[in-house]
Amino acid sequence: MRTPSGSRVRHRSGFSVVEVLVALMLVTVGMMAIAGSTALALRTTLDATRRREAEERATTRLSLLSAAGCAAASAGVSIDSTARVAERWWVVMQANGVATITDSVDWISARGPRSFALTSAVTC
């Protein structure tokens, strides 16, 4: 192709350095967003797993105390140092022949201390 002055014009194909840098910045921002959401999903999954484990501990303890009967039910503490979980349970005898059993499970999560408690009534 010739210009009006008669010299030839070269057309370049490809990307300029600025275009490549802009594309790299966009890809970097996208990758950082994916990494951030993955970390959040992992933390949420871990918190849900710890809460489920706490619920299982409390349910098991309430079942054991209920099966033992009112005479054998007593308060106690169980600390699992490897899982960093503390479990406390107590029994309150009511005047109407019912015992109230409460179990509380405490643990440390990424967001700080967490607690889960269940209460059940057992007839005596």
User: What confidence score (pLDDT) does residue 97 get?
Assistant: 85
d(CA 75, CA 51): 22
From residue 69, alpha-carbon distances to 16, 74, 105, 111 in Å are: 80, 10, 22, 38
User: What confidence score (pLDDT) does residue 123 get?
Assistant: 85
Written as one letter, the residue type at 71 is A
In the numeric block, which tokens belong to residue 96? 């109407």
Residue 70 burial (10 A CB sphere; 0-12, 13-18, 19+)? middle
d(CA 98, CA 79): 28
The model's pTM is 0.67
Nearest to 43 by CA among 109, 105, 107, 106: 109
The answer to whether 91 and 65 are in contact (CB under 8 A) is yes
Q: Mean pLDDT for the chain? A: 88
- Each residue's pLDDT tens digit, 67-108: 888 778 889 999 998 888 999 999 998 888 889 999 999 998
